[in-house]
């Protein structure tokens, strides 16, 4: 539809702007589809892998500082999000990663449970909290 909208305007400036918007939409869609799902468990449950635009990051079990479900308000209801705090060995700062249903390809609570079964949820940090 965006391609058709780019061809319909008669003025060159309008055609260019709509074509540019269609190209941007195509790029964003391609990147979003390419990255899903963004989280995977490494072989043998030794850690997790996170897919990003610039490549894949791997974190060992010992790098995971906290894994939890947080319910954020969105569109008038609370939706679960998976929060993972990692501190790679030798790093000075934690890295917070937040994954929603779109990022994971399934319900974040199911992913949390799967991580807990594989021992990837630090035992002293298990639980659910509420944000907002």
| pLDDT for position 91 | 78
Is the pTM here over 0.85, yes or no?
Answer: no
Q: What's the pLDDT at 31?
A: 75
Residue 76 confidence (pLDDT): 87
Query: What would the CATH number be for the domain defined by 38-130?
Result: 2.30.29
Residues in the chain: 132
pLDDT at position 110, please?
Answer: 94
| CB-based contacts of 10-15 (< 8 A; 24+ apart in sequence) | none
The rounded distance, in Å, linking the Cα atoms of 117 and 66 is 15
pLDDT average per 10 residues of sequence, the chain (132 residues): 65 81 85 75 88 85 92 89 89 87 90 91 60 49
């Amino acid at each position: 539809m965006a391609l058709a909208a780019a061809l319909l305007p008669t003025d060159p400036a309008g055609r260019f702007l709509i074509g540019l918007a269609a190209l941007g939409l195509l790029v964003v869609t391609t990147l979003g589809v390419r990255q899903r799902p963004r989280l995977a468990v490494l072989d043998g449950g030794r850690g997790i892998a996170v897919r990003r635009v610039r490549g894949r990051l791997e974190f060992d079990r010992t790098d995971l500082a906290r894994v939890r479900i947080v319910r954020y308000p969105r569109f008038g209801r609370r939706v679960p999000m998976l929060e993972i705090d990692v501190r790679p060995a030798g790093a000075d700062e934690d890295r917070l990663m937040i994954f929603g249903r779109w990022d994971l390809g399934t319900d974040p609570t199911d992913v949390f449970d799967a991580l807990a079964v594989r021992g990837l949820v630090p035992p002293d940090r298990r639980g659910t909290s509420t944000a907002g």
